[in-house]
Chain A
Amino acid sequence: MSDEMSKPFPKSAMTEDERYELKRETRIQVISFAFMIGLTIMSFLSVSTETIVTGFAIPFILLLGAVQFFLQLFYFMHLKDKDHGWPNTFFTTGLVLMTPMLIALILLLGVTKW
């Protein structure tokens, strides 16, 4: 069995459909990368140029950050794909636990006393 595990394959067992699907996937990944680069440039520009008021720039960059977060998770890390039910559950659990903790720390350390 261990021989089977460490034996390279002469070819891939992918069907034509799967091959086509993977090509499409590659294109989507490159597009989402270009999108992320664009988002990053936008958030840096919105802070570094003086013309955009702070009241708008801060929520705007947080929103761009959230969009990038989802692009990374769902596209680069494949959370959008099927058979990712458990990974989604694990990661969502992490986010659910994280939220009150983050708020509590900001309030306790930052507002109550530091």
Chain B
Amino acid sequence: MADHIDVAQGLPANPEKATLEGKNKFLGMWVFLGGETVMFATFFGTFLGLRKGTVGGPTAEDLFSLPLVFIMTMILLTSSLTSVLGILAMKRNNFKTLRTCMLLTVLLGFGFVGFEVYEFYHYYHEGLGYTTSAFASSFYTLVGLHGCHVLFGLGWIITLLARYWNAGGVTLANAPKFYSASLYWHFIDVVWVFIFTVVYLLSVGGA
């Protein structure tokens, strides 16, 4: 693997794809994301089908607060930028910036999860339990599934940071791992774009 590439000149320009292992991780990640798209689509379809089924319980218009969703969106979007900047630093062989950017991503991710927990807690106290209505179940399942993805991504990046904090620099072994984690993080952001549009804005907009 590593012996097929010339490492005498320094870190290759695209360290995440310099080795066969890196190329495989890159492709595998995209297969996985293609599959994730289909999985999220089933949950979106279910929510869109069931969202009017409130059976006398609280409706989306009663509950959703746009300012909170707006803050959550901004946090997640910014965390996507920090992970992009981290990967660009990785390509420049700047390990310290990569570390800092990924740490920022994690902090912003925790901010997002914190707001989501607060949001669910608030809705629950407004009378929207998981089994209250078809709307409630499909809403909690879709948005909760996204929240679980965020948590999983946080665990992933934290593990990488803990393992490689003192690695001394970008290597051919850790570059593909950081790159895959950042792809996953962007995907989470892509899904959130649809959640805030389809779940929150459509409902509040009266569609």
Contacts and interface: CB of A to CB of B under 8 A. Distances in A.
B160 interface: no
Given A76-B80, A109-B50, A61 B10 contact: no
A100 to B, nearest CB: 10
B150 to A, nearest CB: 15
A11 B92 CA distance: 9
B70 A12 contact: no
A105 B11 contact: no
B99 to A, nearest CB: 13
Interface string B151-186: 000000000000000011111111000000001001
A44 B1 contact: no
A48 B66 contact: yes
Given A1-B3, A94-B33, A12 B186 contact: no
Interface string B43-54: 011101111110
Nearest to B1: A1
B84 interface: yes
Which interface residue of B17, B95, B169, B193 has the most chain A CB atoms within 10 A?
B193
A51 interface: no
Contacts of A107: 49
Interface in A15-34: 15, 18-19, 22, 25-26, 29-30, 33
Contacts of A73: 190
Which 4 A-B pairs rank lowest in CB-CB distance, beginning with the nearest? A109-B49, A8-B169, A105-B45, A94-B34
Interface of A: 1-2, 4-15, 18-19, 22, 25-26, 29-30, 33, 36-37, 40, 43-44, 47-48, 54, 57-58, 61-62, 64-65, 68-69, 72-73, 76-77, 83, 86-87, 90-91, 93-95, 97-99, 101-110, 114
